[in-house]
Amino acid sequence: MVSAPVPNDTTFHPSTFILLGIPGMRDQHIWAAIPFCFMYILALVGNGTILYIITKERTLHKPMYLFLCLLSITDLVLCSTTLPKMLTIFWLKSHIISYQGCLTQMFFVHTIFATESAVLLAMAFDRYVAICRPLHYASILNAVVIGKIGLACVVRGLLFVFPFVILIERLPFCGHHIIPHTYCEHMGIAKLACASIRPNTIYGLTVALSVTGMDVVLIATSYGLILRAVLRLPSKDAQFQAFSTCGAHICVILVFYVPAFFSFFAHRFGQQIPPHVHIVLANLYLLMPPVLNPLVYGINTKQIRLRIFDFFMGRR
């Protein structure tokens, strides 16, 4: 059993938390870490390659690819906030994390998730303008507008997630410091408190539905308008290409949002869900998008695919 002493003078806020890992799978941690590590390496290589190709190739300095760069950056930060610590838990049995370190990890996990959600919305808007308003594409999405959109994505995440830190700081923990998870997230920490967490629950639900939920609605609206425009194209080949691209994008968006909402609502309403199922899905929604995004948004894009091929063939 993992344990650590908690000093008497830290009963309001413990000096450390203990991350148990995946409940019910303690004996399989060593083996469970292997696929997670493999996916993490894929995410680093894939997103790193996308960033290198786009930054080095000036012909790719266009709105679609600049948004893809922003997506790759958020993907790298998203998986790197949790996977290194999770691997040390699984392989080195390093379960202890400081109180401030736990809050910092929580802050970055939720901020980057909210930022990536906003980036996916921006990319859906980019595709909408490119397909439905092609003559105005360059004027609507110029460099200044793209910079403002990128800044707004980050600022929005910071503004909506910072109250999570304040809501956690107000809670007493009465010596409770064991988190049955692989990383620190808002409700996982709040449930350890020995006081009412109703404000945490209400605010978390509000953010999920009004911010992330609104992103989903707007993304669905964008792709609905794109679908309507595609069906009006006279060329079957153009229709097939548009359907292929948008279909792949929609699959990645579903992989991003479905496990995330499952994990979110499982904390509040899923008492019957086995803990190990919840924790595994909570890790996958932070890891699968960084693995899949370079494949779908990058390799599925002809211009990037050709640059990657030239790069590995040693061409310039």
Q: Where are the domains of the chain?
A: 16-313
170-227 pLDDT tens trace: 999 988 889 999 999 998 899 999 999 999 999 998 998 888 889 999 999 998 998 8
Contacts by residues 274-279 (CB-CB < 8 Å, ≥ 24 positions apart): 274/24, 275/22, 275/23, 275/24, 275/180, 276/22, 276/23, 276/24, 276/25, 279/21, 279/22, 279/23, 279/180, 279/181, 279/182
Average pLDDT, the chain: 86
Mean pLDDT across the stretch 292-298?
81
314 pLDDT band, cuts 50/70/90, is: low
Which pTM was predicted? 0.88
Q: Starting at the earlier edge strand, list the strands of the sheet with 178-179.
A: 96-98, 16-19, 178-179
Q: Which CATH architecture has domain 16-313?
A: Up-down Bundle (1.20)
| Strand runs labelled E in the chain | 16-19, 96-98, 178-179
Closest Cα partner for 257 from 297, 310, 220, 204?
220
Closest Cα partner for 26 from 105, 89, 72, 98?
89
81-99 pLDDT tens trace: 999 999 999 999 899 999 9
Percent of the chain at pLDDT > 70 equals: 90
